[in-house]
Amino acid sequence: MPAIIIQMPGSRKRHIAKTITWRIVATGTTFILTIFFFREDPNATEKAGWVALIETVLKMALYYYHERIWYNVKLRVRSAIRHLFKTLTWRVTASLTTFAIAFFIFREDPSAMEKATGIALIESVLKMLFYYLHERAWHASKFGLK
């Protein structure tokens, strides 16, 4: 039986790889923050797992499209400035998504709004730093480029 080989343009392979590596870092961060904020909930770990699972699926799609959009944006600025703009646009999208997921999963907690807000705010700071470093690392990499 012949092997099926799917060839994608170099940029798509790169964007898929970036999506996966970023998801690992980002989902782990959200999982830990969610457990911390909802630590009084006897099912905090299980619910944080659901937050992480939903976030992984949803944000992988959102991140991929974010990458595709930025691939087509032509700014005449240094790469570090471009990565900063990408960091900010992604962070707004991602933090709002995390807030909504955490609030929905923990909606019966009387402080769900405040705790989901805390997760979104702290992850905004942490993940902007992590995302910027992720972008710089990928900028140094030639993986998936033609």
Amino acid at 57: V
Max Cα distance, the chain (Å) = 58
Q: What is the mean pLDDT of the chain?
A: 88
Residue 117 — very low, low, confident or very high, per pLDDT cuts 50/70/90? very high
Per-residue pLDDT at 28:
92
Greater model confidence, 77 or 125: 125
Number of Cα atoms under 13 Å in the Cβ half of residue 95: 19
State mean pLDDT over 102-112. Answer: 96
pTM: 0.71
Instruction: Break the chain down into helix, strand, coil percent, rounded to 5.
Output: 75, 0, 25
Per-residue pLDDT at 114:
96
Per-residue pLDDT at 2:
52
Number of Cα atoms under 13 Å in the Cβ half of residue 23: 19
Calculate what percentage of the chain has a pLDDT beyond 90: 51
Calculate what percentage of the chain has a pLDDT beyond 70: 93
Cα–Cα distance for residue pair 47/68, rounded to 1 Å: 31
Cα–Cα distance for residue pair 117/96, rounded to 1 Å: 9
State mean pLDDT over 114-140. Answer: 92
